[in-house]
Copies of this chain bind each other. A is one copy, B any other.
Amino acid sequence: MMEKRKKFILPEAEIPTQWYNVTAEMKNKPQPMINPQTKEPLKAEDLYPLFAEELSRQEMNQTDAWIDIPEEVREKYKIYRPSPLVRATGLEKALGTPAHIYFKNESVSPVGSHKLNSALPQAYYNKIEGITNITTETGAGQWGTALAFAAKAFDLELAVYMVKISYEQKPYRRSLMQTWGAQVIPSPSMSTKAGRKIITEHPNYQGSLGTAISEAIELAMQTPNCKYTLGSVLNHVSLHQTIIGLEAEKQMAMADEYPDVVIGCFGGGSNFSGISFPFLRHNIAGKTNTRFIAAEPASCPKLTRGEFRYDFGDETGYTPLIPMYTLGHKFAPANIHAGGLRYHGAGSIVSQLLKDKLIEAVSIKQLETFEAGILFARTEGIIPAPESTHAIAVAVREALQAKEEGKEKVILFNLSGHGLVDMAAYDQYLAGDLSNHEVSDEDIRKFSAES
C-alpha cells in the first residue's frame, strides 16, 4: 500500500541561474583529452569544428566554478523544472527501514528523462552561433528524444542516427523523435561513408553506438552550418546536469535534511554527475562527509572492473583520447534493457573523482534492478526507467543496511526517467524471461586487449 508521500516543490523563481563546474574546485584536475595524432593535449579551439564554440569552451573550463545559465535556456527549463523532490515514505515502510529516502524526480520532463537538461543548452548555443543543423546518435533513444524536443524548441534541423536494432525494437522512441520533427536514420546507413563501408562488409550488421557516432560526426563535418552533439560522457554535459543537484540541495533544505548518501545510475555519467557534484562541493570544502555512489550494471562494469587509462570515446576511434575508467572502446556489452548504461567508459571528471576515492561505485545485476523497480512502482506509484532502477536498487541496499544498523540515514537518489516507453522490459521480467548477464573475467581481458 502506498504511503503518504512528502513532495517538495520549489517555486519557479528558484530555478538555479548558474550551473556548477566541479573541476574548478577539484584538487586533482581531470587530465586533459589528447589528440591521438599529435599526442598533444587538446585545446578548446580543437573542438570548434565538431561542437558549438561555447560548448567547447565549457568542455575545457577548469577555472570557473559557476557558469551562467542563459535566460533563454532557463525559460525553456520552466517547461518542466523545477522537478519535484519526494520523500519515498511508501518505499521506506515496505523496507521497514529507519532511513529517510528521498528521490529527485527527473521523469517529469516531457521527454521522460533528465536528458533534456543538456539537450536544451546544447541546442541553444548552436542556434545563437548561427548553426542551422545538428546531428547526434542515440542507442536506446532517450538522448535522441530529448534532442529532438530541444531542436524543435530552438528551431534547428536534427538528424539522429539510431542504432539499427533499437530502431527496429523500439519503434515508439523513433516515433517520438519524428513527432517532434527530427529525421531518424537507422545506423549503419547508406548516407555516410562509414555506414556504407560497414553495410558493404557486413550486410546484416545490427548497428552499434560506435558506428552511429561515426555516422553522426561524418554528417556534421560534411554539412554546411552543421555541428555534432553528445548526450553524456563529456564535461559540458555533466555541467548542464548539475541543475538536478542544485535544485535538490534547496529542496533538501526545505525538508530540513541533508543527504548522507547520494546515488545515481551510471552510463557515461551525466545523471550521476548532475545529482552529485553540487553536494560534492561541500565535501571538497571539508564541510560534509556525504557518500556518492555510482550504480552501474554488472554487464558493463567500467567503474568497478575497468582500468583507468586513456581510451577513445567511440568504438571506431574517431574521438580524442579521454582519460577514463574503461572496459576498452571495443567492449560489446550484453543487450540489457538499461540501454542508456551500455557504454564502455566513464567521463573524465567522474573517473578522476573515483581514482581519488571521492566517490564510490557498485555494480548491480539486472534481476535485482527490476525487483527494485517493481517495488518502487508499487510503493511510490512511478514506473522507473530500467536505467533508474539501478539507483533504486542501491538505495534499497543502503536502506536495508541502515535497518540492520538501526541508523536513521538520509538517502537521496536520482530518478533519472520513467519507464513508460520501456514496458516491454517489465513484461519480460514479470514473465520470468530476463537474466543477469554478468561479464566473465575472460571477456574483460579480451576486450581490454583488443581496444
| A interface residues (Cβ-Cβ under 8 A, vs B) | 1-2, 4-5, 7, 9, 11-12, 75-76, 78-79, 108, 110, 112, 149, 152-155, 171-172, 174-176, 178-181, 374, 377-378, 381-383, 420-421, 423-424, 426-427, 430
Residues of B within 8 A of A4 (CB): 75
> Does B9 lie within 8 Å of A149, measured CB to CB?
no
Q: Which 6 A-B pairs have the closest CB atoms?
A: A1-B155, A172-B423, A175-B423, A2-B153, A175-B427, A110-B381
> Residue of B at shortest CB range from A149?
B381
> Does A424 lie within 8 Å of B381, measured CB to CB?
no
> Residue of B at shortest CB range from A116?
B381
> Does A79 lie within 8 Å of B153, measured CB to CB?
no
In the bound complex, CA of A179 to CA of B378 (Å): 7
A-B contact pairs, 27 of them (CB 8 A): A1-B152, A1-B154, A2-B76, A2-B79, A2-B152, A2-B153, A4-B75, A7-B12, A9-B9, A108-B108, A110-B381, A149-B381, A171-B423, A171-B427, A172-B427, A175-B423, A175-B424, A175-B427, A175-B430, A176-B420, A179-B378, A179-B430, A180-B377, A180-B378, A181-B378, A420-B420, A421-B423
CB distance from A193 to the nearest CB of B (A): 29
Residues of B within 8 A of A383 (CB): 110, 176, 179
> Which of A9, A179, A421, A430 has the most chain B CB within a 10 Å cutoff?
A179
- Copies of this chain present in the complex amount to 2
> Residue of B at shortest CB range from A111?
B381
In the bound complex, CA of A1 to CA of B12 (Å): 22
Residues of B within 8 A of A7 (CB): 12, 78-79
Residues of B within 8 A of A79 (CB): 2, 5, 7, 381
Residues of B within 8 A of A11 (CB): 9
In the bound complex, CA of A153 to CA of B93 (Å): 13
> Residue of B at shortest CB range from A82?
B9
Residues of B within 8 A of A426 (CB): 175, 178-179
> Does B1 lie within 8 Å of A153, measured CB to CB?
yes
Residues of B within 8 A of A110 (CB): 381-383
> Does B420 lie within 8 Å of A421, measured CB to CB?
yes
> Residue of B at shortest CB range from A152?
B378
**A-B contacts besides A1-B155, A110-B382, A175-B430, 6 pairs, CB < 8 Å:** A1-B154, A5-B79, A7-B78, A7-B79, A171-B423, A174-B427
> Does B420 lie within 8 Å of A112, measured CB to CB?
yes
> Which of A12, A110, A180, A181 has the most chain B CB within a 10 Å cutoff?
A110
CB distance from A79 to the nearest CB of B (A): 6
Residues of B within 8 A of A423 (CB): 171-172, 175-176, 179, 421
CB distance from A422 to the nearest CB of B (A): 9
Asked if A377 meets B153 with Cβ closer than 8 Å, knowing A12-B9, A421-B423, the reply is no
Residues of B within 8 A of A78 (CB): 5, 7
In the bound complex, CA of A1 to CA of B110 (Å): 16
In the bound complex, CA of A363 to CA of B212 (Å): 45
In the bound complex, CA of A149 to CA of B1 (Å): 10
Residues of B within 8 A of A382 (CB): 110
> Residue of B at shortest CB range from A112?
B420
CB distance from A199 to the nearest CB of B (A): 24
CB distance from A373 to the nearest CB of B (A): 8
In the bound complex, CA of A426 to CA of B174 (Å): 10
In the bound complex, CA of A181 to CA of B421 (Å): 19
In the bound complex, CA of A420 to CA of B172 (Å): 8
> Residue of B at shortest CB range from A81?
B7
In the bound complex, CA of A426 to CA of B176 (Å): 8
